[in-house]
Structures are given as C-alpha cells and as structure tokens.
Structure 1
Amino acid sequence: MTATEALAPLRVDAAEALGWDECAELLVVGFGGAGVCAAIEASDRGLSVLALERFAGGGATALSGGVVYAGGGTPYQQQAGYSDSADAMVAYLRQEVGEAVSATTLRDFCERSCAQLAWLERQGAAFEASVPPHKTSYPSDQYYLYYSGNEAVPAYAAQAAPAPRGHRSKGPGMSGASLFAALKNAALSRGVRLRQQCEVRRLVLGPGDEVLGVEAWQLPPDSRAARWHRRLSRWATAIHMYAPPLAERLRARLRRIELGHAERRLIRAERGVLLSAGGFIFNRAMITRYAPQYLAGLPLGTTGCDGSGIRLGQGAGGALARMDKVSAWRFINPPLAWARGLIVNDAGQRYCNEEVYGATLGHAMVEEQGGRAILILNKALLREALRQVGPGKVWQFQRLPVLLNLLCNAKRGASPAALAERCGLPVANLERALADYNSSARGETADSFGKSAAMLASLEQGPWYAIDLSFDSKLFPCPAITLGGLRVCERSGQVLDAAGAPIAGLYSAGRNAVGIASNLYVSGLSLADCVYSGRRAAAHLANQIQPATARSGEQQCNE
C-alpha cells in the first residue's frame, strides 16, 4: 500500500466476532486540539472516552502560537475598547472562508464565538486584552489581542467593520503548549483515558460498514523502545525548522521502532470513533498527488501530520474534499519596514498589497506567481528594518530570518535599472513599478492595490535593494500547512461517503476534516475550528440514543 492510498479496514461479521482488549463509548484518534476538546465535551455529556495518541499528545496545537480566533464582542475586545458583532465577524470571515463551509455553518461558528472562548477559560485557558501598537504576525509576550488576519486592510475593512480577533492564550513563549496543557488537564481530570505511543492502523467495520472500533498498535509502556521513541520524537520536533533532512531521518527511525516493537490491541468503540489526527503536510506523496506546487515549502506541524487519519477515513468509504488547499505563510512583518516596501514577480511587476496577512501573500505568490516574490527596499527602509528587529523587540524566530536575508540575500543597485539587471528583471517594468508606487506614496495617486497610506513609503532615494523571498528560498523557508481532508456533515461532524451519506459511527474534526479553515488561512482560525468541530462531533454522538448499525436509509447531509 502506498502512502497515498486509503488504509484498508478490518471487516468482521459482528462485533462479537473479535476479542476486544478494551472498550469505550467514544474513541478519539489523535489527541491534539480537536481531539482533546471532543474528549472534554463527550465526558461532560456522560460518555466514557479513550484517546489514542501516536506520540505524547498536543499535535500541531501544542507547537502553535496558541491563538484562538474569536469575536462578536468578547470581554477582551470590550476591555481593549473595540466594538465587534457576530455580523461583522461573519462579513469578514466570508471573504476568507469562501465556500469551504455553508453560510449557515459560518454564522453558527461566529454566533458561538464568545461562548466558545468562555468555555476554553472554564477549562483553564487564559486570555488578555493587551493590544500591540503595530500590526504583527505574532505579538511579543507583552500582548495577547491583535489583528491576526486582514481585518484592518482597506479592501477587507470596506466589507466588514474591523476588530482584533486574534486571542492569544496566556503563556510563556509560543502559547500553544500552555493552551494544550490546560485542555489536557481538564480532560484527564474528568476521567478521560489516554493511551500514548499508540497508533491506529486500521478501523474495524461491521457487516453494514458501520465503524465498530480500531486496530491499534502500542509500544509497551516504559519499555526501552518507548523511551527511545519519546526521545527521538522530541529531537525531530526540535530540529525540524532548522535541519529538515536530519529530522526526516529521525522520523524514519521512529517508524522502525513502531513497526518493530508495538503490540496489537483491538479497541471497541461502542458509540463512535473520532478521527482528529491532523493534516497531511508531512506526507510528501500526498502533497505530490494533491498539491505539487507546495512541495518546496517547509512542512509545518508535527510528525503525526502525515495524513493517516484522512486515509483511515478513506478506507471506511469517506470522501475527500479541498485536498489542493494548502496555506503558505510568507510573513514580511515584522519588520514593519519590509511591509512598506513593494513586492514584484519575475517580470518585475508588482502584484499585491504588501500589508496583507502572510498567508494571503503566500497564496498569491504560489497560486498566481509561480512561487516568486522579490522584495524591493531602499536604504532608509533597510536601516529601519534593522532597528525594528533589535534585541527584545521581536521573537528570535522573527529576527533571525530577517538578519540572515539582509546580510546574505540582499542585492544592491545604485539605480533601479542597475538593481533590475542584477536580479535579471526587465528594467522598464521595475522602473514603472517603482514610479507608480512612489506616486502613491507621495499622495498623488491612489495605490493600485489599495495599500493603506501609512504603509506606503517613498522609494525615490537610493540605493535600492532586492531580497528574494520566493517560495523555494533556502534562506527564508516558507512554512506550509494543509487545509483539506475528509468531508463531514456540518451539523454533526459525521464523515460522509461519496454520495453524501453519513458513515455510521465515524466522525472527524480539526485539520483531519474540511472545516472553517479549509480555504484561506487566518491566524487562530484553525484552533478555533478545532474547538468548534471537536465539540460539535462529541455533542452529536452523545445525543444519539442508539448508535446506527448501517448507512441504509440515512438522510444525506449536504450543507
């Protein structure tokens, strides 16, 4: 079986045909953001829950910035002096979400936003109303509420009243670890059972194709193999951003340990199985098949983001959708000075508003410009950029790429024509792009891409510099995550087959499934969707008096 094929299930005539090692009403496959929220919700509704996690738990949520997209008038928006409404949130997100989910689902997501944030707080998460003075891709430890997308960009603000909706959870460093720790503690305190270093390799299906349980393989707890597995997993995660090839070799060793030492367990799901094992950015075969233009990007996530949860659902008949949707993050702020320059393509032509959110810029770069992005600055902006990334002003992961590229990846020209020749760009096109940009910066003409006046900078005085920030840059790797997955019913989270009918006993949530964040990415939207979709699936499962025994006669769920 190749890495792109569905994981074939184990089929039996009846649940009684197998000798189950363990059982629970809800089995959660993948204990990250979506899985832990589903576990809490199901437990609160009286269900027994067993979570199966291939590694230590947390997934991409624990590695993230811990930003939850929330609005509609949250307490922190109000404390910071910003008014917001569900209507404004819907109007903005419709521009980002597109057709990924129905208008009804998007409206429901936004109207539940304040309550969802309050629910996270009841689990131990903490938020704050401090707002940074300037737009940034991720605020320092001083700030916890910010414009995490395109809300304040003029073209978007014209459609929806802007408000900061990026609620960064409180915690040192990247806040995702603190957010997940609170959720994990909340789940375990409710009696949720967690099996770590336990990989689900097959679903178990009954005669009517209903999901009965799983075949899992677990490393013996506290064994030498388990200890090495934990160690190698930590190392692979720690070095991935800096040495991807070495991290890949460590992941190969992890796999050999799993295949050589894990022990088989059959686990019965009395009410249902939730697939919440993340996306597929680490599965290069799947990227090659569905989104090959993103192969040059830096996979962002964890080793578990290998598409296994998606392929498990496929094996049970689940349909896929939006598998070509990948988000590339080309953040150029901080430093703010970079966003005041202009970006051109291989033809020396400007193609975007440089103040837009990094995922919006990345989308235009990859999908429309063949992955090319060349940033044009002058000496004044270059010096300003150096000041803005000084010690204590930004995160180290934001500072180092800027310094490296200014020192090693900046080409200089005494004139725009000389710079164009050094970069292999058409001279006339670059000169025209600069002339038009300078005219807008002087206030003589409106900027053709709708850039805010405050973000325009006159580049009339040289010398000029060009920094190649293209998708395949080795000095400024471009992170990428996948957004597509299993099609689910938007009312229940049940996995749908090709005909749009729910598969009995099978749910999916988070980046394992199509959801709110499956079109264009906005910081915090994926975590918010994990909470929303995880809780939705658990609530629906708990409300089913009897688990369905077959798909025949099921009403189709097409939202």
Structure 2
Amino acid sequence: MSRPAAQHTSNTDILAPLRAGDVAEDAWHDSCDVLVIGWGAAGACAALEARAHGAQVIVADRFTGGGASAKSGGVVYAGGGTRQQRAAGFDDSPQAMFDYLKHETGGVIRDDTLRQFCADSVSNLNWLESHGATYAHSVPPGGKTSYPSDGYFLYYSGNELVPSHSGPQAPAPRGHRTVGKGQCGAVLYGHLQDACLRAGVQPLLQAAARRLVIDDAGSVIGAELWRLPTGSREARQHARLAARAERLQNFAPGYCDRLRQTVSQLEREHARPVLIRARKGVILSTGGFIFNRDLIREHAPKFRRNFKVGATGCDGSGLRLGQSVGAQSDRLSRVSAWRFINPPFCWPKGIVVNTEGRRFCNEEVYGATLGQPLCEEQGGKAWLVLDARLRKQAIRQALFDGYWWFQALPALALMLLKVRKGRDASQLAAACGMHGATLESALQAYNAGARGTAPDAFGKSPGSRQVLDQGPFYACDISVSNPVFPLGALTLGGLKVDEHTGAVLDGHGQPIAGLYSAGRTAIGIASHLYISGLSLADCVFSGRRAGKAVAIGTQARSFAHDVASLG
C-alpha cells in the first residue's frame, strides 16, 4: 500500500479502489458488519440503527466526530403534530408538512419519499429524545428570526409564514431546536455520540478513509483508512489544530485554512494504513464539499467568495470515494447561500435591490431563498434600502431586543459602518452606482403596496410592508464581498441513492453492492434548497434508513422491487 503523494491542500487524498485480490487475508486489521465513514449526525444515526438491528458496527472519522452537525444550530425540522407543536397550540399534519415541503424541495426526491419523511417526522424526533436529546415548545416573540434566543426552542425556521409558500392549513412552526444554550448542534451531537458508545459502536478516530476495497464483482467490501498513531504527539497536535480551526473559522478564516493545511500535512507524514473489512456494507456520511475549493470552482463557481459553512471534513471525501467506484452524483452545482435579514425583525420592511436599483425578491423570505438569487442571478451584489425611520427602528431593535451577538453586531456594523446615504432616492442611487430612475421607480411601487393602493410585486405580506418616505435614505451593502456581513454557504448535492435504502447508485441507476450513503454526502430532502433544520432532519431520516438497510441486507431486494413496480 503506497503512501499518497504530498499535496498542498487540506483535502483528504482519495485513491483508486483497492482490489481484494491484492490484499492478503492476514492484512485486514479489523472487521465488522457495517463500516460507517464519517461520524457526524448522519453517521451516528446510521450506526445506531445498524446496531439496533444486530450489526457489529465500526464508525471511522478523520477527526474525533461531530463534523458540521456539531457546529450547527441543532435545529431539527419536524412536524405533522409533534408533542411540542401541540403543547404550543399549533395544529399540524403530515399532509400540511408535505404540501409545504413539496414547494421547497423542488422535486429533488420522489413524492413517496417526501411523504415517508413527513410521516416519520414525529417518530424520528421521539427517537432522538430516546437517545437523550430534549425538545421544548417555547416559541420566540417578535416574529421571524434566523435563530431563536436562549430559552426558545420552537420556531418558524423556513418560509412557512410567506404567503406564496403557505397552503390551505394555517402555518405551523417546525424548527425544533435541541434544548441547550448557544448553538445547540454540539448538544445534539453529544447525545448521539454518547448513545453510539453505549450501544457498542466501535469508534476509529483520526482515521481518514482514502480508498474503498472492492471484490472481483465490484462489490464494496471494506475501506483503507490512514490513521494517526493513537496517543502520539502528532495525534495530539492534529486534534488541537483541527479544533482551533473549527473554533476560529468565523473570526479568521484565512488563518484557519492554514491550520487545515498543517493538519493535512500531519496526516500525510504520520498516518499509517488500516484495512477494515465490512461484511455487509460501507456507509459514506462525511458531509458536503464546501471546503474543497477545486470542487466548488468546478461545479459552483458563483459561490467561491462565500463564507464556508461547515467543518474541515466537508471536503467531498465521501463524494469522491463513491465516484472512485463508479457512483453517480447529482446537483453538485446546488449551494445554499444564507443572506439572513432577520433579525432585526423590521429589516424585511425595507427593500432589497440589485446594482441597478431594481427590486428582485420578497424580503421576508428565508435567508437561503434570498441568498440563492443574490448569488446566482445578481452576481453576488445587492443593497438593503431603508429610510431614516426604518433604520432607527432597526438600530433600536439590534441594541435592545436581545438578539444573539452574531445577529446584532453584524447588523449594527452594516447600518453604521458599511452604509451609503442620500437625501432622496436619486442621491442614494448616485452614491451606490445605481440607476436613479430605477431605484425611484422601485420605491414608488413598493410604497404603493405598503399603502394598500396596489399589490406588492413580490407578494410580501402586509405585516412586512412599511412606507419608505422619510429621508435621508440608506443603502446597506448585503453583497457576498462585504466582510462585516458574511454570506455563508454550504453544498447540497451529492451521490445519488436508492430512496428506499440509501444504496449508492452507479451511472446506470443500479445499486453498487455494499455501498450506501446518508446526510449531505447523498442526495436527500435538503438537496434543492435549504431551510433551517431540514439537513439535520434528513441526517436522521437517511442515516436510519441506510443503517437499517445495510444491517438487514435490503439493497438488492429494494432495487428488484423498484424494477417490478415499473414494469
């Protein structure tokens, strides 16, 4: 087994698959029924479900587990009548949840899969609670927010309140934030990790999977991982630098990128190969690829300037491992870009315009629903226009309404430091390089809608409209390039999988024997357009699906069933 050539990158080196015929019988270091590669939420859920069905499970991770899940807000999108929804006084049903998500998911998965996701929503939340996570029914006051303050754990985490997205049933909040303080992803992941250890899942840490092992028929029967010596000085340094990179990413991304390169160099110089035999199958759950700049440049170049949301392990290693054995990928150009303009709660009453001064969206939509056209269609450049009255309201809210620091401080910096000013629309347009007549027309049309004398051009609800007529006017730069107001992004595409089992599909749409995938490594519920909580909910749904399927061996049966149903 040769050592990969040194590279100046922080990405995991992925090699061509190893043929079982080239491996001596005594070369295997360990064996299991199920090998899970990537110990984030999806990997943990897969491991737990496989153990529940009697499988012996090894879970491997390039670091010490957690990944992007542990850095998230810990929000799980759940509905259809959860205990928390009922306690808060909201009626919801699987059908209402399906109707809403049908709009958001854009056909990325089949209707029967989406219906199953909605039908399983309550039981999956209960399953998380059975493993130690806690959810509550307190709803934040004041309206839509990107993330609720401490003490509030049930909220509208998507576009449920936007008229164009609502259905015949009254909207219900479905963002279930794991009970804890601060960003609660670490809390949720801690419960899942502890549950894995209690269940007897065997962890293999600081072990990066670099190639799969296949037999003569092309079935995946294991993997080669390169592991740092346990307890060594290099392993301790690796863990320390990786943790620092995750902790400081929001404050010094360039410095953290250099830390990641050092981490990768430690792996290349000191890791040693470990061969793991998987009798029933391998599950890939290593996250997305937002930290792989080559893949972003190739598939989603419009998002190269975005702030990277995720963890160091989100380098596309699972995607590339699957591709190395002929797996089919899809939607690699789909990236979720988060331009939140709430809170402050009054910000959506302003208007968002492009570089010409033309309005292009409903400002009350979820951050990714705004960020997508901003990056895809507007070149990553846009302005949030406020009048003097609305700006004063927003500053007051940012100062005194109890928002998180990561909500309040960037909002204040945007309004006080990175702002253009004009006594009227024409002067503001000149200060920003917009077309004066275009901006003036946009304000006039918007004000007509706010006064109720004309419909709003983008369907904004009456409660989110406010006449903008008190000069001076202000334009806040919400472009992707503004350093004081980062525009985060994460990837949504991945490996195509059988939607009954999570089995990875090849270029002909057939399962690759012994290979499964879950979470953001795979195409799933959140692969069209992200809303808060949908990815973690899909980690539970797809992770449990793959864990059960590989443990009980339903891969081939599921494919045969699909063929029979078509014919």
TM over 0.5, yes or no?
A: yes
Separation in 1, partners of 2:169, 2:504:
33
Residue 304 (structure 2) pairs with residue 303 (structure 1) = no
How much does 1:340 deviate? 1.1
The 5 A counterparts of 1:365-514 are 365-390=374-399, 393-514=402-523
Separation in 2, partners of 1:558, 1:456:
50
Match of 2:127 in 1: 119
The 5 A counterparts of 1:193-204 are 193-204=202-213
Identity %, equivalent residues: 51
Alignment counterpart, residue 354 of structure 2, candidates 330, 339, 345: 345
Is the 8 Å Cα contact of residues 511 and 559 (structure 2) preserved in structure 1?
Answer: no
List gaps (5 residues or longer) in structure 1.
Answer: none
Is the 8 Å Cα contact of residues 328 and 359 (structure 1) preserved in structure 2?
Answer: yes
Match of 1:278 in 2: 287
Secondary structure of residue in 2 paired with 1:389:
helix
Separation in 2, partners of 1:175, 1:442:
41
Match of 1:291 in 2: 300
Is the 8 Å Cα contact of residues 341 and 375 (structure 1) preserved in structure 2?
Answer: yes
Alignment counterpart, residue 335 of structure 1, candidates 314, 339, 344: 344
**Residues 342, 209 of structure 1: CA spacing in aligned structure 2 closer, same or farther, 3 A cutoff?**
same
Match of 1:95 in 2: 103
**Residues 245, 394 of structure 1: CA spacing in aligned structure 2 closer, same or farther, 3 A cutoff?**
same
Match of 2:535 in 1: 526
The 5 A counterparts of 1:149-160 are 149-158=158-167
The 5 A counterparts of 1:162-201 are 162-201=171-210
Separation in 2, partners of 1:558, 1:449:
42
How much does 1:391 deviate? 5.4
Instruction: Read off the aligned partner of 2:206 and give its amino acid letter.
Output: Q
Count, aligned residues: 557
Alignment counterpart, residue 48 of structure 1, candidates 47, 50, 56: 56
Instruction: Read off the aligned partner of 1:19 and give its amino acid letter.
Output: A
**Residues 558, 297 of structure 1: CA spacing in aligned structure 2 closer, same or farther, 3 A cutoff?**
farther
Secondary structure of residue in 1 paired with 2:115:
helix
Is the 8 Å Cα contact of residues 278 and 305 (structure 1) preserved in structure 2?
Answer: yes
CA offsets 1:211-256 (integer angstroms, 9 cap, x no match): 1111111111111001100110111111111111111100000011
Secondary structure of residue in 1 paired with 2:84:
helix
Secondary structure of residue in 1 paired with 2:550:
helix
Instruction: Read off the aligned partner of 1:52 and give its amino acid letter.
Output: A
Separation in 2, partners of 1:402, 1:501:
49
Separation in 2, partners of 1:283, 1:46:
36
Consecutive aligned runs of 4 or more in structure 1 exceeding 3 Å deviation: 1-7, 14-18, 158-161, 551-559
Is the 8 Å Cα contact of residues 502 and 556 (structure 1) preserved in structure 2?
Answer: no
Moved more, 30-39 or 466-475: 466-475
Secondary structure of residue in 2 paired with 1:339:
helix
Residue 28 (structure 2) pairs with residue 20 (structure 1) = yes
Is the 8 Å Cα contact of residues 276 and 509 (structure 1) preserved in structure 2?
Answer: yes
Separation in 2, partners of 1:451, 1:9:
53
Residue 351 (structure 2) pairs with residue 314 (structure 1) = no
Secondary structure of residue in 2 paired with 1:277:
coil
Moved more, 471-480 or 524-533: 471-480
**Residues 552, 163 of structure 1: CA spacing in aligned structure 2 closer, same or farther, 3 A cutoff?**
closer
Separation in 1, partners of 2:170, 2:99:
8
Is the 8 Å Cα contact of residues 25 and 48 (structure 1) preserved in structure 2?
Answer: yes
Separation in 1, partners of 2:464, 2:561:
54
Instruction: Read off the aligned partner of 1:149 and give its amino acid letter.
Output: G
Secondary structure of residue in 2 paired with 1:13:
helix
Secondary structure of residue in 2 paired with 1:114:
helix
Residue 545 (structure 2) pairs with residue 542 (structure 1) = no
How much does 1:529 deviate? 0.2
Is the 8 Å Cα contact of residues 502 and 554 (structure 1) preserved in structure 2?
Answer: no
Residue 136 (structure 2) pairs with residue 128 (structure 1) = yes
Separation in 2, partners of 1:160, 1:468:
37
How much does 1:370 deviate? 2.0
Secondary structure of residue in 2 paired with 1:233:
helix
Separation in 1, partners of 2:246, 2:510:
38
Secondary structure of residue in 1 paired with 2:341:
coil
How much does 1:472 deviate? 2.4
Instruction: Read off the aligned partner of 1:389 and give its amino acid letter.
Output: A
Residue 70 (structure 2) pairs with residue 62 (structure 1) = yes
How much does 1:454 deviate? 1.1
**Residues 478, 558 of structure 1: CA spacing in aligned structure 2 closer, same or farther, 3 A cutoff?**
farther
Secondary structure of residue in 1 paired with 2:192:
helix
Match of 2:367 in 1: 358
Instruction: Read off the aligned partner of 1:256 and give its amino acid letter.
Output: Q
Is the 8 Å Cα contact of residues 204 and 212 (structure 1) preserved in structure 2?
Answer: yes
Separation in 2, partners of 1:268, 1:174:
37
**Residues 220, 493 of structure 1: CA spacing in aligned structure 2 closer, same or farther, 3 A cutoff?**
same
How much does 1:101 deviate? 0.3
Instruction: Read off the aligned partner of 1:363 and give its amino acid letter.
Output: Q
CA offsets 1:134-188 (integer angstroms, 9 cap, x no match): 1100000121000000011011114654110000000111010000001111110
List gaps (5 residues or longer) in structure 2.
Answer: none
- Normalized against structure 1, the TM-score is what? 0.96
How much does 1:402 deviate? 0.9
How much does 1:388 deviate? 1.2
Separation in 1, partners of 2:564, 2:149:
43
Match of 2:118 in 1: 110
CA offsets 1:480-537 (integer angstroms, 9 cap, x no match): 0000000000000000000000001000000000000000101000000000000001
Separation in 1, partners of 2:325, 2:337:
30
**Residues 341, 489 of structure 1: CA spacing in aligned structure 2 closer, same or farther, 3 A cutoff?**
same
Residue 19 (structure 2) pairs with residue 11 (structure 1) = yes
Is the 8 Å Cα contact of residues 14 and 210 (structure 2) preserved in structure 1?
Answer: no
Cα root mean square deviation, aligned: 2.1
Separation in 2, partners of 1:164, 1:335:
19
**Residues 438, 32 of structure 1: CA spacing in aligned structure 2 closer, same or farther, 3 A cutoff?**
same
Is the 8 Å Cα contact of residues 219 and 512 (structure 2) preserved in structure 1?
Answer: yes
Residue 266 (structure 2) pairs with residue 257 (structure 1) = yes
CA offsets 1:278-328 (integer angstroms, 9 cap, x no match): 000000000011110110101110000000110001011111001110000
How much does 1:18 deviate? 5.6
Instruction: Read off the aligned partner of 2:358 and give its amino acid letter.
Output: Q
Secondary structure of residue in 1 paired with 2:469:
coil
Separation in 1, partners of 2:401, 2:431:
35
Separation in 2, partners of 1:37, 1:477:
31
**Residues 310, 379 of structure 1: CA spacing in aligned structure 2 closer, same or farther, 3 A cutoff?**
same
Is the 8 Å Cα contact of residues 91 and 160 (structure 1) preserved in structure 2?
Answer: no
Match of 1:80 in 2: 88
Instruction: Read off the aligned partner of 1:27 and give its amino acid letter.
Output: L
Alignment counterpart, residue 41 of structure 2, candidates 23, 33, 43: 33
Is the 8 Å Cα contact of residues 5 and 311 (structure 1) preserved in structure 2?
Answer: no
Secondary structure of residue in 2 paired with 1:31:
coil
